[in-house]
Structure 1
Amino acid sequence: MSAGLRTSSRALTRFLPSRRDYTGLRGSWRTDILAGITVGIVALPLALAFGVSSGVGAEAGLITAIVAGLVAAVMGGSHVQVSGPTGAMVVVLAPVVAVHGTASVALVSLMAGLMVCALGISGLGKAVAFIPWPVVEGFTLGIAAIIFLQQVPLATGTAGTPGHNTLLAAIETASGAAAPTVALTLALVAGVAVVMILLQKYFRALPASLLGVLLATAAAELLRLDVPRIGALPHSLPSPSLPAMDLASLGSLAMPAVAIAALAAIESLLSARVAGGMAGPDATPSGAYSPDRELTGQGLASIAAGMFGGMPATGAIARTAVNVRSGAKTRLSAVVHAVVLLGIVYLAAGLVGRIPLAALGGVLMVTAVRMVSRRTVNAILRSTRSDAAVFVLTAIITVAFDLIVAIQIGLAAAALFTLRKFASLSSVQREEVPGLRADGDEHIAVFRLDGAMFFGAAERILQEISQVKDIQVAIIRLSQLRMLDATGAHALVEVISALELRGITVLLKGVRPDHLALVTNVGVIRSLRHHKHLFEDLPAAVEHARSHVRRNAAAANA
């Protein structure tokens, strides 16, 4: 086998399952199975609710939790991540369904899954580390607000307005609610919320969301309430098939697929990163994960879900947290979670179909509120004004416009504030000529550049140095310059050229080794009057400057 083939083979094996994925299974299989059963019970109402809320139906949500949950568990890069439909994906998918119809979901899942796989294979998994914390939390706050608003139609027993802004649609829906249905549905929502809050506070070991849905369903059945229900569900999984494709549909779904792929990658990696540092009951962290393999696993999960009639999937932080806190150590727990949901499809589909939609709305409303940590919000708002502004801006744009646009603008705002901070830390200081005072030192100026000289600060530094008067020699110290880019180097060229045109000799001192290639290629050294005007230590530069001043004085007296 050639070296190239061996390298390609090793690269490919990074994305494939191995025995290492189940290290420690002999000692943890019992807790893994129990954790998987617990997560499956918790995931049931969420999968149903997210399917309904996205517009593709409860069946698609359940299929996604089963198929994508199993594929991601086996192929993903995290040992404890649990995948399936999530609230963030619902927010992106709902407008796609409203515009292109439910038939588009399978194709857009396939397209987005291929894109996520490509991101993983290309090694971009670590890019999520560059997303600032305020952007992530603002994004989360915006998603939570949208999820809550999306449940208003379910909570009021009315039909939503597809394709409208979430806030406006919620207001229109609430204003069109009619009695007595709205009173019954709101009562079910309130009942589910109370059960979930009380059980979470006093009996954390119990599956609060499932019990809330069961009690609401029992009440609706016993009282024969006339409220919207989930409806009929299949008693088995459909056969896998490729969605219909044509150039027109591929073109119209290209941008939605890009948005879904970006969201799937970001949410899955953030969830896996959080899970990696999360401790289980034994206080042991869950451990590291492979970002690139996680992306390929999530991409394959969305592809598989689309082929079975599901929706795009991502890593689900809430279910992953339940998994870790239940003692999960290996992928077996996520596999068991998928098997539990599959058993429900085959054994209890009829009972699940009787669940009131308002009960699912109540589950998601409570889930949305819990997505936002008051402590985190206060910490960001009290940190710096720039971080607080990025946080608020990202949240507002998420609700008002689009999730991907919110991330883009949030990143742009964070980058702008960071550059502004870097620029403020950059400075030019005029120093006294070191050593004993000598005649003519008043005609020598020593400048020290500190911090960073890049495109955000170069213009200001150029102006400050260029304003110097009544000198014959300028020594520019570069040893304290930590960062230099092409714009900063070009600004140095302009400074040197401007001073030399005024008859001022420029000496450079202390060019850092890591900057030498840049200043040479951009032309900084070439712009000096002589190549010997580049010095490694300050005393030599000062002595050379004094010799220039003495020669000028002698020439003037001649």
Structure 2
Amino acid sequence: MTRATDATVPASRWRRAGAAALSLLPSPDDYRPAKRTWRRDLIAGVTVGIVALPLALGFGVSSGLTAEQGLITAIVAGLVAAVFGGSNVQVSGPTGAMVVVLLPIVASHGMGAIAAVSVLAGIAVLAAGALRLGRAVSFIPWPVIEGFTLGIALIIFMQQVPLVTSPATPHAGEHSSNAIVAAVQSVIEADWSYVPWGLGAVAIVAACMLIAPKIHPSLPGSLIGIAIVAVLAVVLPTPLAVIGVLPSTLPAPSLPSIDPAALGALVPAALTVAALAAIESLLSARVAASLADTGPYDPDRELVGQGLASVASGLFGGMPATGAIARTAVNVRSGGRTRIASITHAIVLLLIVLVASGPVGMIPLAALAGVLMITATRMVHAATVRSILRSTRSDAVAFVITAVITVSFDLIVAVGIGVLSAGVFALRNLSRATGVRREDLAGPAQPGDERIAIIRFDGPLFFAASDRVFETVTRMKGVSVVILRMSQLELVDASGARVLTEIVQSLERRGVTVLIKGVQPGHEELFRTVGVLDSLRHHKHLFADLPSAIEHARSHIAREAAGSR
């Protein structure tokens, strides 16, 4: 019997492992609701495809790459993530946050390195999903996320300035990798005969994007604006630079060439891209789940899907992809409820490549800049910024620090420092919640009660509050017995238990008798392990109720008084 039982343990583990692996893969259940929603899904998919076209083209150009690569990413990664991802409504593709990370990589390693970075980053994100790290995004506080978003929006806006000031897009290395510095450089070096045309194109697109939704919510203002500017650029003799020739088919997939000598430099860049892809995709999926009843999302499967999407995009010569909250929100608000909508969005973009690559190539770059400028301004909500700045000092500081570091240095560094600063403030606030105060003895006073101190602990007791607790208790004078009242003590870590041990030892060395009352069952094992209970002078100095502890303390005072006579 024992052998049979032992043999079933590995088998059950294999079954659980197999079930866990299968949960990360597509299943027929993904499409069961489509029986009721497929019409709305198709309409939503077409709508998102139209909205995504200018964004895909614009983000491709802004990354220092080509519009073609942005479009390839939207098609390939959008399709793969829709099938394999953990959200029913997530729409994936090139995003503004990824543009910010890719631009310095292009400047340092060239356009040819991006496909390799995409594959390497995709493998890292895929591994994170397989290791079940999808819940880690919940540790990022809301002010840090909003500061991150504000910084990205400012960078995206500034990245469009060179497209408006000159017909010649700067090559990698000609301008600073910092978006604000590069924008200033492009204004200084601007072709002032070109600037009115560029600003005019931006103004037309911006006006269409602002006015079209007021006429009807379903009107694609960005596409209308781009179409108007493109027609004017064909009809009028304008100097506006255009996208150029686009292929009428997708390229054949192939493994990107990776120079072994450059691999050491590409791996850190790929890890940065992977971290951003994971964070942005999980945040987008979480927000999407709150917009409507779209079913639950699996964060681990989402990482697997996004990892596969970036790998596939790299194989086709595209760029890394993430979940795109703006396009995902459009999908949900247009009625999308299953993966059919996201898949349809990718098919619509593919049809545009196959049928309309010629007209798309005539779109002026300044028009794309207008789309991204408006998109950047819509990423930031003034009400949200005000609410954070007016909330608490710690949240406001974390928000500002994250935004400033995002613009000045690096996105991942910004998130890391933002989380760290928020964590420091949270620990400080939590330590202040630790209450240590002296209570009066209940009932009629008796002789010698002034030499008995009841110390009540409230809230958590952990490392951040340990020094303050130690000083508060041990600096008491003129007492012979101290009762440590523990019944209201909540969270206790090893540092908190250790400081209790030091308090008991310090008081006992001074000849003060320490009694402990109300140790909770969940704390008892920790107190024994760390030595709190062993530090008591006698094992009978541990009490379950306060009256018994007070009675014992008074007996100590009485014996002390009798001994002094």
Fold conserved between structures, TM > 0.5: yes
**What is the TM-score normalised by the length of structure 1?**
0.97
Considering only aligned residues, what root-mean-square deviation do their CA atoms show, in Å? 1.4
2:391 is equivalent to residue 383 of structure 1: yes
**Cα deviation, residue 164, structure 1:** 2.5
- Correspondent of 1:131 among 130, 140, 148: 140
**What is the TM-score normalised by the length of structure 2?**
0.95
Separation (CA, whole Å) in 1 of partners of 2:527 and 2:101: 47
**Cα deviation, residue 122, structure 1:** 1.4
2:253 is equivalent to residue 240 of structure 1: yes
The residue that corresponds to 2:91 in the other structure is: 82
AA paired with 1:82? V
AA paired with 1:288? P
Separation (CA, whole Å) in 1 of partners of 2:94 and 2:285: 15
2:183 is equivalent to residue 170 of structure 1: yes
Separation (CA, whole Å) in 2 of partners of 1:229 and 1:545: 88
Separation (CA, whole Å) in 2 of partners of 1:96 and 1:245: 15
- Correspondent of 1:102 among 111, 125, 135: 111
Separation (CA, whole Å) in 2 of partners of 1:195 and 1:38: 17
The residue that corresponds to 2:535 in the other structure is: 527
2:32 is equivalent to residue 19 of structure 1: no
**Cα deviation, residue 5, structure 1:** 2.5
The residue that corresponds to 1:282 in the other structure is: none
Separation (CA, whole Å) in 1 of partners of 2:13 and 2:548: 53
Q: Can you list the C-alpha shifts for 1:165-217, whole angstroms capped at 9, x where unaligned?
A: 11111101111101211221111111111111111232321111111111111
- Correspondent of 1:154 among 159, 163, 171: 163
Q: Can you list the C-alpha shifts for 1:19-74, whole angstroms capped at 9, x where unaligned?
A: 11012212221211111111111101000000000011111100000000000000
Separation (CA, whole Å) in 2 of partners of 1:3 and 1:487: 39
- Identical columns (%): 57
CA contact (8 A) 2:294 2:338 kept: no
**Cα deviation, residue 278, structure 1:** 0.9
The residue that corresponds to 2:42 in the other structure is: 33
**Cα deviation, residue 394, structure 1:** 1.1
**Secondary structure, counterpart of 1:461 in structure 2:** helix
For structure 1, list consecutive stretches of 5 or more residues without a partner in the other structure: 280-284
**Secondary structure, counterpart of 2:24 in structure 1:** coil
- Correspondent of 1:257 among 263, 267, 270: 270
CA contact (8 A) 2:115 2:256 kept: yes
CA contact (8 A) 1:80 1:320 kept: yes
Separation (CA, whole Å) in 2 of partners of 1:4 and 1:456: 40
Matches within 5 A, 1:386-535: 386-535=394-543
Separation (CA, whole Å) in 1 of partners of 2:108 and 2:365: 23
CA contact (8 A) 1:145 1:368 kept: yes
Deviates more, 1:43-52 or 1:201-210: 201-210
Separation (CA, whole Å) in 1 of partners of 2:37 and 2:62: 36
Deviates more, 1:378-387 or 1:456-465: 378-387
2:294 is equivalent to residue 294 of structure 1: no
Q: Can you list the C-alpha shifts for 1:502-530, whole angstroms capped at 9, x where unaligned?
A: 01111111112221122211111121112
The residue that corresponds to 1:221 in the other structure is: 234
AA paired with 1:511? V
CA contact (8 A) 1:269 1:294 kept: yes
Separation (CA, whole Å) in 2 of partners of 1:166 and 1:40: 28
CA contact (8 A) 2:252 2:316 kept: yes
CA contact (8 A) 1:277 1:287 kept: no
Separation (CA, whole Å) in 2 of partners of 1:329 and 1:507: 62
**Cα deviation, residue 437, structure 1:** 2.0
Separation (CA, whole Å) in 2 of partners of 1:16 and 1:137: 32
Separation (CA, whole Å) in 2 of partners of 1:245 and 1:486: 49
The residue that corresponds to 1:311 in the other structure is: 319
**Cα deviation, residue 554, structure 1:** 2.2
2:195 is equivalent to residue 186 of structure 1: no
**Secondary structure, counterpart of 2:308 in structure 1:** helix
**Secondary structure, counterpart of 1:436 in structure 2:** coil
**Secondary structure, counterpart of 2:458 in structure 1:** strand
The residue that corresponds to 1:323 in the other structure is: 331
The residue that corresponds to 2:217 in the other structure is: 204
Deviates more, 1:529-538 or 1:1-10: 1-10
- Count the aligned residue pairs: 552
Separation (CA, whole Å) in 2 of partners of 1:289 and 1:469: 59
CA contact (8 A) 1:139 1:394 kept: yes
For structure 2, list consecutive stretches of 5 or more residues without a partner in the other structure: 1-7
Separation (CA, whole Å) in 1 of partners of 2:375 and 2:179: 17
AA paired with 1:273? R
**Secondary structure, counterpart of 2:455 in structure 1:** strand
**Cα deviation, residue 484, structure 1:** 1.2
**Cα deviation, residue 435, structure 1:** 3.1
- Correspondent of 1:365 among 351, 370, 373: 373
Separation (CA, whole Å) in 1 of partners of 2:437 and 2:299: 45
Separation (CA, whole Å) in 1 of partners of 2:407 and 2:392: 23
The residue that corresponds to 1:69 in the other structure is: 78
**Cα deviation, residue 163, structure 1:** 4.6
